[in-house]
Structure 1
């Protein structure tokens, strides 16, 4: 008798999680054997530090479900170490694919997966004991390890704290989002009435303020095939840099914390009203 689809999906996810842990352990073992240089932001670069960073798969008590923790650092990597990183990232992508399949077809399985997966690896489950760690943070499992595609001459790290995600929506799309909320709640009914007063052709904007993050500006030793000489990328996990001589490139020491106020001027083309028109959805009207 064939297993039920839900059990098959969970079994496939468990196997993908096993591959993720095994490939990460292989990467850590290769790093421990490597003589390459490393640097960690506000920490001592070591195998223990890298293990904490790459196996930080947990929510802490009270952590915002949308937030992820960062572990900023630089690792000089030879070809064999970069291959291990590529294997981990492939396992992460495979794990994310299985998660998406469950989320699309059997969403209740996600809670069971968060409860079951840590017990498959005792060394991971031990992290939970007396550490204030609550449950598996799936996004922290599948986020990729950043790598540079070519040797780098220098790295400049800087806080980026002015980011906003702005999604353009139609009145009909916003209405559908409001209808997923508790439509018996007075504040939702008020917003539905406000929305009904807008012409259907009016565009709206949903805004999400992004948490401060560290950004790395990479300056390549030689131009890439497409002519690029530099690249900017966000680094929530240690950045692995191709380094045939096992040495880190020149890099700066960023401030310990992001700036308290906005450091970049507002874009001249910013056309949104100052206050949200529909607060529950962070939806704004254009000026």
Structure 2
């Protein structure tokens, strides 16, 4: 007789628990290593910050009351990192990658475990979870666990931060792609059946577009002291978490103070939107036809 612990899905759960422990332990190690380095740190919009701030934002694995499950909280900042700190930050990203890979396997092989994962993992580290009970932060936000730390690949002369508000992303789909997405919904629902009939009337080779609204994000333009091996002297990175920049003297590169909020008008997506019909073909999936 197969015991519960021997069932494949519970072996996956045990592996994920170990991966979560590794993620927490490596993150604690990163904060401790940076604290000992006495490097500088700056956060937007607070200004100069310390290791307690870094610990709080790197361990922000939780939902807030009313938070959309598809969204994540941003913690924009810069952290001066010596070689030991950069090495430990790379270990954290490796732990995050391992956690994400196991989670993807579980979603594919045993998706019914996901609610249990969110309920069980927080209690593995009572010090992290204890102060959250009753505060609306006791549910684990899996994406906030595995999103990677941004790491500058070389010493940076200056950083320019700017809001990027594209408004929406547009993903090209085939008719078959759209059909598969519709079939994953409740096909007994009248509105889904109507959309399937609409789709059936299209040529199989007609391209479609799925539109996804995007929240504004902060982008960092890095200007390196010396060109990278590929010859580039600058690079742009999205920075939803603190950016670690190599710095042996513990000082931060020159950086700007971006505006407190994103621009009200979106800029680049408009031209792509104008190629789409005004009304969605499949409202349930935000899928549009291209204009003729």
TM-score range, shorter chain: over 0.9
1:15 partnered with 2:18: yes
Q: Deviations over 1:110-156 (max 9, x none)?
A: 11111111111011112322322141011100111101000011100
- Kept after mapping to 1: 8 A contact 2:167/2:266: no
TM-score, normalised with respect to structure 2? 0.93
* 1:161 maps to which of 162, 165, 168: 165
TM-score, normalised with respect to structure 1? 0.95
Residue 49 and residue 192 in structure 1: after superposition, are their counterparts in 2 closer, same or farther (change >3 A)? same
Shift of 1:35: 1.7
Residue 198 and residue 261 in structure 1: after superposition, are their counterparts in 2 closer, same or farther (change >3 A)? same
Comparing 266-275 with 147-156, which one deviates more in the overlay? 266-275
* Residue matched to 1:203: 207
* Residue matched to 1:78: 82
- Kept after mapping to 1: 8 A contact 2:280/2:286: yes
- In 2, the alpha carbon distance for the partners of 1:31 and 1:188 equals 53
Residue 70 and residue 93 in structure 1: after superposition, are their counterparts in 2 closer, same or farther (change >3 A)? same
- In 2, the alpha carbon distance for the partners of 1:268 and 1:138 equals 32
* Residue matched to 2:219: 215
Q: How many equivalent pairs are there?
A: 287
Shift of 1:18: 0.7
1:174 partnered with 2:182: no
5+ long unaligned stretches in structure 1: none
* Residue matched to 2:156: 152
- Runs of 4 or more above 4 Å deviation: none
Q: Deviations over 1:165-186 (max 9, x none)?
A: 3222222221221122222323
- In 1, the alpha carbon distance for the partners of 2:214 and 2:272 equals 20
Shift of 1:65: 0.8
- Kept after mapping to 2: 8 A contact 1:147/1:240: yes
RMSD after superposition: 1.7
Comparing 174-183 with 253-262, which one deviates more in the overlay? 174-183
Residue 172 and residue 133 in structure 1: after superposition, are their counterparts in 2 closer, same or farther (change >3 A)? same
* Residue matched to 1:57: 61
- Kept after mapping to 1: 8 A contact 2:217/2:240: yes
1:232 partnered with 2:236: yes
SS of equivalent to 1:131: coil
Q: Deviations over 1:49-92 (max 9, x none)?
A: 11111000011122111100000000011001111101111111
SS of equivalent to 2:271: coil
5+ long unaligned stretches in structure 2: none
Shift of 1:284: 0.8
* Residue matched to 1:39: 42
SS of equivalent to 1:155: strand
Comparing 238-247 with 270-279, which one deviates more in the overlay? 270-279
* Residue matched to 2:198: 194
SS of equivalent to 1:227: coil
1:4 partnered with 2:7: yes
SS of equivalent to 1:273: coil
